[in-house]
Amino acid sequence: MSGQTLTDRIAAAQYSVTGSAVARAVCKATTHEVMGPKKKHLDYLIQATNETNVNIPQMADTLFERATNSSWVVVFKALVTTHHLMVHGNERFIQYLASRNTLFNLSNFLDKSGSHGYDMSTFIRRYSRYLNEKAFSYRQMAFDFARVKKGADGVMRTMVPEKLLKSMPILQGQIDALLEFDVHPNELTNGVINAAFMLLFKDLIKLFACYNDGVINLL
């Protein structure tokens, strides 16, 4: 399916009428178009997380609402947009996600509209588990492993042993959840899963760097 559907346009128009520019941007970032969320919409949402008058819980709720859609494209793009904001948005966005008891409940998600829907549903279930784990790690640690300083004077290298021994299993859990995404090159068949893969790949490099710092500290 290419191009915005009538449903996409109606949803965006509804948010325009209610005056919620942020919700409209979320809607436009999560259309039925089989491509990653457009940069202009992601950039707008990143900037919105830095605005003190923007309601972060409301923004997150709109993303969660989009993730309840029956289409794998819309759900996957809602996850990609959420991940993008966790990485590049103001820290209060991931802080809010970490404060919630539940995030994405997609362990049984299945788009039965076609064979592609079945394939992508598997990755959606894995991806949502990783994002849940990323938020859980933040709740446990009060920081994002992917954002902290690395190297000789980095957080994990200078952490006291007692705290480090508690931190390493949490970090390991996040790495394990990420690796379970387990996509192969021949499965990177569209712009949506490619966008998710790039975010996951960049996270993994940073998580491994943290893990390496932790091991060096323990030794």
CATH number at residue 29: 1.25.40.90
Judged against a pLDDT cut of 60, whether residue 1 lies above it is answered with no
Judged against a pLDDT cut of 50, whether residue 219 lies above it is answered with yes
Helices (H), 67-190: 72-88, 91-99, 115-141, 155-158, 161-179
**Residue 70 placed within a domain:** yes
- Span 96-154, pLDDT tens digits: 999 998 899 999 999 998 888 999 999 999 999 999 999 999 999 999 999 999 999 99
**Residue 1 placed within a domain:** no
- pLDDT of 139 reads 97
User: Which range of residues forms the domain containing residue 91?
Assistant: 6-218
- pLDDT of 48 reads 97
- Span 193-213, pLDDT tens digits: 999 999 999 999 999 999 999
Query: Which DSSP string corresponds to 17-47?
Result: HHT-HHHHHHHHHT-SSSSPPPHHHHHHHHH
**Residue 147 placed within a domain:** yes
**Residue 138 placed within a domain:** yes
- pTM to 2 decimals? 0.91
Domain total for the chain?
1
Question: Mean pLDDT of all residues in the chain?
Answer: 93
- Span 25-60, pLDDT tens digits: 999 999 999 999 999 999 999 999 999 999 999 999
